[in-house]
Amino acid sequence: MSGGAKLKVRVAAVTPVNELITRFRFERLDGAPMPAFSGGAHTVVDMNDHGTRRLNPYSLMSDPADRSGYEISVRRDDAGRGGSLYLHRHVKPGMEMEISYPINLFPLDSRARKHLMISGGIGITPFLAQIAQLSAHGGRFELHYSARSRALGAYMDRLTAAHPAQVHCTFDDEKQVIDLKRVLSMQPLGTHLYVCGPKGMITWVLTTAAAMGWPAHALHHEEFLAPGTGLPFTVDLAASGKTITVGTAQSLLEAMEAAGVDAPYLCRGGACGQCETNVLACDGTILHRDHWLTAEDRAAGHKIMPCVSRFEGKTLVIDR
């Protein structure tokens, strides 16, 4: 089934963390334990935003050993398409919702002798669960966490109190920057590097590590792209025999779902590859916004990732 099985949950708590971030706790309606997950997993929250269905992925930040509920933290995006605003403004304790079973596209690598984590802003959330998981078993880790200011450094107090030797914080408004080259040069052999945060930070960390000789298998990152907006476009769905129009603030995946077409997905953010779809005819330009397809795939123009990519032109026919 597209997106996997769903869990019926109740919103158990809504807790403001700072001026931009709010934490949500979900517990199962049937009172059973939540399905097990490992640090780095995410869930897709299914929202009915006044008639518009929104399906947004959020990292699970709670302790994987705690099966009584799941917690996510959501940064309000005033310029976004509405998912975070809906959660911040309309989701209250006691509400019933559906979320997906957990999916982990950013797991800890069990081959690592040490886990080096680099986080920016709300990118801290998967690391909270991973650190809880590692702490339970004496796993070795080091976290470098950058935030715009002390006030926006969500969970920094908790992390530095629990792990004063392993957690290092920097603040943009105090002109502090992670001393990346030094940090990368001081790691023992067998260390794996994980980065989650803004696109610029991910690129900086990965390219610096690669230039310093870190092996590709030891580099891990997570970045879910928001679908973004664009000009409306029309798509022919060959297998379904339908023609759909994708709206300005809608993704191709969302437009297919709204038309009753079953389309696969896991991350809904251009990262997992699950939604990859063959292009049967194209008279125009595919606006590739994923980071799944290779440069060769893009040049060939035979594939599209409907969760984030768009189209400009006359005709697009896809195999769905």
Q: Is 59 in the site for ligand FES (CB under 6 A)?
A: no
166: Cβ–Cβ under 8 A, 6 or more apart, which residues? 141, 142, 143
Among residues 97, 103, 235, 267, the one that binds ligand FES under rule CB under 6 A = 267
**Phi/psi-derived region of residue 171, left when phi > 0, alpha when psi is between -120 and 50, beta in every other case:** beta
Cα torsion through 237, 314, 249, 221, rounded to 10: 80
| 60/266 with CB nearer ligand FES | 266
Structure tokens at 55: 């399906």
| 100/274 with CB nearer ligand FES | 274
Binding mask 184-223 for ligand FES (x = CB under 6 A): ----------------------------------------
Q: Tell me which stretch binds ligand FES (CB under 6 A): 67-75, 188-196, 265-273, 296-304.
A: 265-273
Smallest separation, CB 103 to ligand FES (Å): 10
Structure tokens at 264: 């696969």
Q: What is the DSSP string of 192-205?
A: EEEEES-HHHHHHH
Give the amino acid at 58: Y
DSSP state of 33: P
| 67/291 with CB nearer ligand FES | 291
Looking only at residues 272 through 311 of this chain, which bind ligand FES when binding is defined by CB under 6 A?
A: 272-275, 290, 292, 305, 307
Note whether 283 and 314 are within 8 A (CB).
Answer: yes
Helices (H), the chain: 83-90, 125-136, 156-162, 180-185, 199-211, 252-258, 295-300
Q: Tell me which stretch binds ligand FES (CB under 6 A): 107-115, 153-161, 263-271, 278-286.
A: 263-271
Smallest separation, CB 280 to ligand FES (Å): 19
Smallest separation, CB 47 to ligand FES (Å): 17
Q: Tell me which stretch binds ligand FES (CB under 6 A): 92-100, 201-209, 233-241, 270-278.
A: 270-278
SS3 assignment, position 45: strand
Smallest separation, CB 267 to ligand FES (Å): 4
Rounded to whole angstroms, the Cα distance separating 305 from 253 reads 8
Binding mask 81-120 for ligand FES (x = CB under 6 A): ----------------------------------------
Note whether 274 and 257 are within 8 A (CB).
Answer: no
Structure tokens at 247: 């709206």
Looking only at residues 123 through 152 of this chain, which bind ligand FES when binding is defined by CB under 6 A?
A: none
Smallest separation, CB 224 to ligand FES (Å): 8
Smallest separation, CB 25 to ligand FES (Å): 26
Note whether 115 and 194 are within 8 A (CB).
Answer: yes
Among residues 45, 205, 255, 266, the one that binds ligand FES under rule CB under 6 A = 266
Cβ–Cβ contacts within 10 Å for residue 226, how many?
A: 18
Residues engaged in binding ligand FES (CB under 6 A): 265-268, 270-275, 290, 292, 305, 307
